[in-house]
């Protein structure tokens, strides 16, 4: 049955992390000075098995979830990820529709896996790409991977029908705000949905400040200096992006304004980390351990009851309270859980 939290928000989306490791060291997510060669990542023995991950997916489906997004870390580093997708693809929603399955990736490994992912039942992918200039890209990702490799992954995903492919770019003032127009030019005449995300104070962004935020409005004005945009009406109120169409009818762009225009009031997303912790907000400082219900002796229904009990007590709205909270408790509640553990 459908459930809602204390603010009346339904549970519709599950972000299921399969690994906390990544082959990039993006400065706003996994800065190398923290996530170095000695960082104690989760050993493979502590990660949830595919049986446990599938059990979680079944429980959430019974509670009204309509979309499951596979995340990490970098989920394509999880060996045999296609087997998990095959199992989740057999699930249906409460309304009887096939479960929507998506995956977020840095696309460095996507070219080789796009077809097998699609054949397993993956519906679409979202690629994190913050720059098209190779020097800027390498500086932000802090990895020995050329941007051409990521672009090749996007092309492969489009070619096999993992559509619509979405590209998310986190814009940090003075770092890559000069990449907004090049990104638009690159993807305008493709079927790729491009979205710009405000730089957030998520776990990993230890030196975050509001001065580094290049707002969604500023990004839109930057684009409109070359490409007029028209707002799209009738958008999904639970979506994170506000989408615009190019005035000439060719292509779309979206803006995720989680800092300047928070959308906590419509948030329907839960996150489960690779070690079985349930987080009800991206900015959570602690989770709810689901491990007691992931053993063979506990049923899917018992697991669903545990999730229901936590969700119905949910009242998170960090982004709406960000300014006041930081003013009152500038460091008390930080850092939040690292984003590489729970996904974006």
Counting other chains too, the contacts that 254-257 makes at CB distance below 8 Å and 24 or more residues apart are 254/193, 254/194, 254/195, 254/196, 255/195, 255/196, 255/216, 255/217, 255/219, 255/220, 256/168, 256/195, 256/196, 256/197, 256/198, 256/216, 257/198, 257/215, 257/216, 257/217
* Length of the chain in terms of residues written: 344
Best CA proximity match to 196, nearest among 211, 181, 174, 206:
181
Annotated binding site for [4Fe-4S] cluster: 22, 26, 29, 264, 267, 281
Q: Is 38 helix (H, G, I), strand (E, B) or coil?
A: coil
Best CA proximity match to 259, nearest among 217, 320, 339:
320
Annotated binding site for GTP: 15, 69, 104, 166, 269-271
Annotated binding site: 15, 22, 26, 28-29, 69, 73, 104, 128, 166, 200, 264, 267, 269-271, 281
CA angle, corner 36, sides to 32 and 40, nearest 5? 130
């Amino acid at each position: 049955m459908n459930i809602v939290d204390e603010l009346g928000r339904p549970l519709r989306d599950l972000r299921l992390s399969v690994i906390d490791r990544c082959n990039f060291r993006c400065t706003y997510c996994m800065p190398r000075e923290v996530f170095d060669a000695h960082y104690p990542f989760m050993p493979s023995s502590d990660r949830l098995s595919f049986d446990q991950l599938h059990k979680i997916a079944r429980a959430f489906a019974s509670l009204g979830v309509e979309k499951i997004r596979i995340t990490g870390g970098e989920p394509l580093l999880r060996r045999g990820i296609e087997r998990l997708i095959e199992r989740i693809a057999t699930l249906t929603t409460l309304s009887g529709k096939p479960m929507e399955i998506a995956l977020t990736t840095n696309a460095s490994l996507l070219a080789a896996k796009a077809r097998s992912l699609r054949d397993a039942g993956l519906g679409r992918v979202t690629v994190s790409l913050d720059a098209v200039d190779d020097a800027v890209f390498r500086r932000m990702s802090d990895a020995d991977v050329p941007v051409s490799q990521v672009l090749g992954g996007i092309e492969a995903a489009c070619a096999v029908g993992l559509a619509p492919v979405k590209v998310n770019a986190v814009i940090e003032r003075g770092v890559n705000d000069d990449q907004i127009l090049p990104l638009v030019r690159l993807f305008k005449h493709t079927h790729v949905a491009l979205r710009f995300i405000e730089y957030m104070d998520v776990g990993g962004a230890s030196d975050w400040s509001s001065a580094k935020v290049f707002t969604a409005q500023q990004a839109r004005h930057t684009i409109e200096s070359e490409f007029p945009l028209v707002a799209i009406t009738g958008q999904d109120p639970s979506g994170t992006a506000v989408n615009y169409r190019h005035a000439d009818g060719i292509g779309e762009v979206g803006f995720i304004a989680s800092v300047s225009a928070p959308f906590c009031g419509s948030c329907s997303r839960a996150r489960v980390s690779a070690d079985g912790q349930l987080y009800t907000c991206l900015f959570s400082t602690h989770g709810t351990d689901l491990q007691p219900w992931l053993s063979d002796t506990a049923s899917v229904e018992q697991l669903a009851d545990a999730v229901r009990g936590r969700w119905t007590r949910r009242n998170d709205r960090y982004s709406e309270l960000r300014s006041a909270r930081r003013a009152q408790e500038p460091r008390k509640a930080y850092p939040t859980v690292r984003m590489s553990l729970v996904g974006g």
